[in-house]
Structure 1
Amino acid sequence: MSRFKRGAHVDSRAGFREVKEECPVPSGLLKAARQSGQLNLTQRGLSQVPQSVWRLNVDPPEEAKQNLSFSASERWWEQTDLTKLLLSSNKLETLCEDIRLLPALVVLDVHDNQLKTLPASIGELEQLQKLILSHNKLTELPLELWKLTNLRCLHLQQNLLEQLPAEIGQLSYLEDLDLSNNKLIAVPDSLAKLNNLIKLNLSFNNLKSLPPAISEMKNLRMLDCSRNQLESVPPVLAQMASLEQLYLRHNKLHFLPELPSCRTLKELHCGNNQIEVLEAAHLKHLSSLSVLELRDNKVKSLPEEITLLQCLERLDLTNNDISSIPCGLGSLPKLKSLALEGNPLRTIRRDLLTKGTSELLKYLRSRIQEQPDGNPKDEPKTAMTLPSQAKINVHAIKTLKTLDYSGKQEASIPDDVFDAVSDSPVANVNFSKNQLTELPPRLLELKDTVADINLGFNKLSTIPVGFSTLQQLVHVDLRNNLLTLLPMELEALTKLRGIILSFNRFKTFPEVLYRISTLETILISNNQVGNIDPIRLKMLDRLSTLDLQNNDIMQVPPELGNCTSLRALMLDGNPFRNPRAAIVAKGTDALLEYLRSRIPT
């Protein structure tokens, strides 16, 4: 009996026909690459790179084999050599030795794959300047890699490297080296030969010490050694005259490093260590310092010399053992963020810490002006004092320019409160923790002087258009209300630097915020915001803090990584899957870098 079904059609030539495997890379893409010199194969599910890619500049294209006529712009023999090849976010476990057939490559990006090894022929890519190998499974690197002496950028983060050979010192033109998130227990002294290195990231490794030779990197501007096992920093680190950013967070340091020659240092991050003592010698030379981060340490006191840091913009002392702070901090001209929560402070009330930096600095300035015996001058008492004014701190109005009527749980602000202001210029208004359902109309009477308004913990459902007349406003706190939108007229608040909208009912990011170019801080956590526009956020070039925690953001746009002015980006508590929680937990810089790596090119 025939093994073929009756009536079935059988192709008698099937056994002799050549089976042609379909190429996963469209021919049109290859054709465009011959003209542009660039080929983007990101996220194409490739388990291996097709031979047609490696031989792009070697073999004639399929059209040429068919004897087709070509226009002047399509002559394959006049093609452009491939200089940029993007293979990121695929399933590659190896790269073929045929990579040598692309000797003109300047950029090779193979991040986010499954690579365990690299071919020795990678050393023949003599023109290569940028090599991205991050987020793979590399345990070692071929010696031929160190022959790529034209490399400017080498990213090896998120691999399984346990050591580096001394030959890494041969990459003398290297400017950006990222070795974070590996298993390094030491780095070779030859690293010091990288004289042109500007950025070095050694974070998330197992380093117990740094080689003293690292101080020879005279052009290094950013050094990140966070999340290691460092117990001390070599004193010669102080000789790095170009250093601008130093990250030593999450180590085992007991002392802040002395950096007498680092006069260009702008940011010093030493949080989550075991630092107990902060001495004048640690600070007196840091005249350019703008960020000092010492949170989660054991610091007991601050030297008066900290008030000499005239460029300081952010000081984070959260969760230490500090009982008092120098009042001179209130006079630092550029200080915008002072974090003191979690300290056993005796001289500052706990509720004052929740009112923000502006209120805290004003309090410290007021302490400077007090009499030597520490008691503020008594306000003269008169028989004309109204009963309602007994609830109002008249002294605060006169000396601190503060109108405080908070925590009364009242549905409206009595006229007597505003009458108490009289002709005194008021800069700060605190009506928080009441039952206000609308903005007090007489608040607008203070429009010429008020700079800071706290309306948090009320029942406001709308903000009137008239709020835009408060054009001296610098900070506004509207947390814990019932707001769903903000009027576009608030665009007129051209001095506004900070706004708190947490715990409201916003379903969309307020449109007007994109238009207030002076904003430095936006806190809008615990709402229902579903998305943000990263292109418009990037236009806010002063924005340094953006809190979007506990919203409904399903997708984080990669372009958010271009908002490089951000120093604090908080996204926890949103339902997005990517970036993963482990990446978010690494902090703002790592998160922004990851997002940038995901931007389609």
Structure 2
Amino acid sequence: MTSKGRRPPANPKAGFRQDKSDKTDAVLATFLKQARQSGQLNLSGRSLSLVPESVWKINIDVPEETKTDFSMDSTEDRWWEQTELTKLILASNCLTSLSEDIAQLPALTVLDVHDNRLESLPDALASLENLQKLDISRNRLTAIPQCVGHIRSLTSLHIEHNSLMELPENIGDLINLEDLDVSYNQMVVLPGSLRYLTHLMRLNVSNNKLRNLPQEIGLLTALRFLDATHNEVTELSTSFGDLRQLEQLYLRHNRLTHLPVLQNCVNLKELHLGNNQLEELTAEHLKHFSSVSVLDVRDNKISVLPDEITLLQGLERLDLTNNNLSGLPYELGSINSLKSIVVDGNPMRSIRRDIIMRGTMELKKYLRSRIEELDQKQNGSTSSGIQKTEGTSGIVGGTGDGINSHEVFQFKSLDYSNKQATQIPNEIFAMAEKAEVRVVNLSKNCLTTVPNGLMLTSDYLKELNLGFNRFSFLHPDISLYLGLTTLDLRNNQLSDLPPEMSSLRQLREIIISFNRLQTIPAVVYELHKLEILFVNDNKIDTINASGLQSLRVLGTLDLQNNNITQVPPELGKCTQLKSLQLGGNPCRNPRPAIIAKGTAAILEYLQSRIVS
């Protein structure tokens, strides 16, 4: 058999390593024999600089082995019954070009030449009328020739990781294309002819230099996935709202200042808008996101999250990292599907940081509790600000500074804060005992010692807030509150804690910020269930690493704004720490630049300094 314009016979091993051995020849012959039977030939990763001539003529030339074997008994060697080559993989070689002889493989449906050194493509590609998948990614192409636009059978075209400045206008002729990846190139504009790719389901244009996305993209009625991450896009056309089939939209690391209303994107499940310059998400935006399960708006300038976020009843992940949020809508806690809320790096004023540090479930629980409190307050208040509800037992504790007993009984919580009181009426604690209160807040008063009457609540008390008072020491009787899980002593004048506190075996959180401590009190290291320790804004100058290592479940440690100059490398063994805050100290080791990178970087640095 012959072919028109056949070139002179060539070495079938051309392009393989400079190995002339019979072994190399045998390997190629084996591959070709198997390919005639399966229709698939894989020559990837063989350091080819040229494709052997015998590959192009695999379905034309008579195999050498049949020239000496005329047996009709073996059906597998009947070369005239061979399968035409449909799949050719030449990936991860050293090819700089492809021969025009590729036209001699008209049955090809898959051609994979990714990860080579191709600088051009043969015009003969246009003759491959059955080609469905073409992968020419990770080469050195600076332009896509017109011939690619003539392969109308293509359903998948991958051109990522080249040096393309643009796509040819006739890319729109690939009317059967379903998957187009042109990421990691140098393109600054996309052709309007993309509008004709009405079967396109996946489009990846990420990591280019695009300044805008053409409004014609809104005509891609089958599009389900669009990735335009890492470009220079400043605005989106309103036509994006017409992408009814769109499920995933990635627009991270652009320059967007405004998001159009995606009014018809009823199937949108994931929306990634992080690392832009968005200043708002409006209620109008959110009411069209009913199907969204992942919403990423991290690293923007959003200052308010609308209450309409509750319309996203299928929301599972919400990333609000590094915005300008001072609070969150309480209704967020009522979204049952929500599994992850990330709000790090926001100037939260309405939610304590320790609540945020406890994770998503605790944050949702807090938000729901605020809803319940607001519901109670809807029944009105007295002129002095004391809540009243039907069935109340009255005000206990005197006019003006009294406590609504109904609320104490209902919420199991006693709030006698911000009264500037030097002592507290015993009748209040008697009422708290009957209510079996679990939470007592005596903060922002003028107390110098723990009120004796508080002991009446010791059997039930779980959380005690004595912050913003005038304690210079803490009476050892604090050790009798055996059920305590949270103790807040911030903003007092304490220089130590009593050793008797070691009896508080259930204590999970201590806040002793803004006091006069020069070291972390020794008793702290005996509280083995401790998870959260705030000792920021004191006068601490040394860190007891071995003591902290004994706190095996400690997850949050705040040592900011103390006098620490050296952090012992052994602190790096506290790998259970999820949040380690060291800012505001005159540290020379580790350097401020390392501290600024966060907990993981600090621990890694400290571990590298441990002398083994």
TM-score range, shorter chain: 0.5 to 0.7
How far residue 309 of structure 1 moved from its aligned partner, in angstroms, is: 1.2
Aligned partners of 2:206 and 2:227 also within 8 Å? yes
2:438 is the alignment partner of 1:368: no
Equivalences for 1:43-58 in 2 at 5 Å?
Answer: 43-58=45-60
Equivalences for 1:89-100 in 2 at 5 Å?
Answer: 89-100=92-103
Identity %: 46
Matched AA of 1:155: H
SS of match in other structure, 1:338: strand
Aligned residues: 433
Deviations 1:154-209 (A, max 9, x none): 11111111111221111111111011111111111110101111011111111112
Aligned partners of 1:109 and 1:132 also within 8 Å? yes
CA distance in 2, matches of 1:284, 1:310: 11
How far residue 439 of structure 1 moved from its aligned partner, in angstroms, is: 8.2
Aligned partners of 1:458 and 1:480 also within 8 Å? no
Deviations 1:318-360 (A, max 9, x none): 0011111101111111111111110111011222222211111
* 1:326/1:47 CA distance change after superposition, 3 Å: same
CA distance in 2, matches of 1:110, 1:321: 47
Deviations 1:269-321 (A, max 9, x none): 11111111221111111110111111111111111111221111111110011
Deviations 1:489-532 (A, max 9, x none): xxxxxxxxxxxxx97789xxxxxxxxxxxxxxxx9xxxxxxxxx
2:341 is the alignment partner of 1:338: yes
CA distance in 1, matches of 2:12, 2:58: 22
Using structure 1 for the length normalisation, give the TM-score.
0.64
* 1:260/1:75 CA distance change after superposition, 3 Å: same
CA distance in 2, matches of 1:409, 1:108: 73
2:129 is the alignment partner of 1:59: no
How far residue 121 of structure 1 moved from its aligned partner, in angstroms, is: 0.6
Partner of 1:208: 211
2:107 is the alignment partner of 1:104: yes
How far residue 20 of structure 1 moved from its aligned partner, in angstroms, is: 8.6
SS of match in other structure, 1:167: helix
Partner of 2:462: 392
* 1:505/1:270 CA distance change after superposition, 3 Å: closer
CA distance in 1, matches of 2:51, 2:554: 55
Aligned partners of 1:392 and 1:417 also within 8 Å? no
Equivalences for 1:170-569 in 2 at 5 Å?
Answer: 170-371=173-374, 372=377, 377=408, 378-379=413-414, 381-382=432-433, 385=455, 392-393=462-463, 404=486, 435=525, 459=550
Partner of 1:130: 133
* 1:413/1:86 CA distance change after superposition, 3 Å: farther
Partner of 1:534: none
How far residue 388 of structure 1 moved from its aligned partner, in angstroms, is: 6.7
SS of match in other structure, 2:157: strand
How far residue 414 of structure 1 moved from its aligned partner, in angstroms, is: 7.2
* 1:83/1:438 CA distance change after superposition, 3 Å: farther
Matched AA of 1:305: E
CA distance in 2, matches of 1:357, 1:295: 16
Partner of 2:31: 29
CA distance in 2, matches of 1:67, 1:460: 80
* 1:326/1:110 CA distance change after superposition, 3 Å: same
Aligned partners of 2:149 and 2:171 also within 8 Å? yes
Aligned partners of 1:410 and 1:435 also within 8 Å? no
SS of match in other structure, 1:369: helix
- The answer for unaligned runs of 5 or more in structure 2 is 1-10, 15-19, 378-384, 388-406, 415-430, 434-452, 466-482, 490-495, 512-519, 531-547, 558-571, 579-599, 602-612
Aligned partners of 2:203 and 2:227 also within 8 Å? yes
Aligned partners of 1:47 and 1:92 also within 8 Å? yes
* 1:241/1:402 CA distance change after superposition, 3 Å: farther
Deviations 1:30-69 (A, max 9, x none): 2111111111122111112111212111112221133363
CA distance in 2, matches of 1:246, 1:374: 50
SS of match in other structure, 2:301: coil
CA distance in 1, matches of 2:102, 2:13: 23
SS of match in other structure, 1:370: helix
How far residue 392 of structure 1 moved from its aligned partner, in angstroms, is: 3.4
SS of match in other structure, 2:216: helix
Deviations 1:553-599 (A, max 9, x none): xxxxxxxxxxxxxxxxxxxxxxxxxxxxxxxxxxxxxxxxxxxxxxx
Matched AA of 2:122: P
Deviations 1:87-114 (A, max 9, x none): 1111111111111111111111111111
How far residue 385 of structure 1 moved from its aligned partner, in angstroms, is: 3.8
CA distance in 1, matches of 2:254, 2:144: 28
CA distance in 2, matches of 1:20, 1:322: 66
Aligned partners of 2:549 and 2:573 also within 8 Å? no
Deviations 1:388-416 (A, max 9, x none): 77983179xxxxx9955899999999786
Matched AA of 2:246: L
Aligned partners of 1:86 and 1:110 also within 8 Å? yes
Aligned partners of 1:412 and 1:435 also within 8 Å? no
CA distance in 2, matches of 1:340, 1:354: 10
CA distance in 2, matches of 1:191, 1:172: 10
Using structure 2 for the length normalisation, give the TM-score.
0.63
CA distance in 2, matches of 1:61, 1:205: 47
* 1:410/1:41 CA distance change after superposition, 3 Å: farther
* 1:402/1:149 CA distance change after superposition, 3 Å: farther
* 1:417/1:252 CA distance change after superposition, 3 Å: same
CA RMSD of aligned residues (A): 4.0
Computing the radius of gyration from Cα coordinates, the structure with the larger value is 2
Matched AA of 1:130: K
Deviations 1:454-495 (A, max 9, x none): xxx76488xxxxxxxxxxxxxxx88699xxxxxxxxxxxxxx
Deviations 1:193-227 (A, max 9, x none): 01111011111111112221211111101111111
Matched AA of 2:462: I
Matched AA of 1:64: T
SS of match in other structure, 1:363: helix
CA distance in 1, matches of 2:293, 2:172: 33
Matched AA of 1:37: G
* 1:296/1:323 CA distance change after superposition, 3 Å: same
CA distance in 2, matches of 1:115, 1:402: 70
CA distance in 2, matches of 1:412, 1:110: 73
CA distance in 2, matches of 1:88, 1:202: 22
* 1:186/1:435 CA distance change after superposition, 3 Å: same
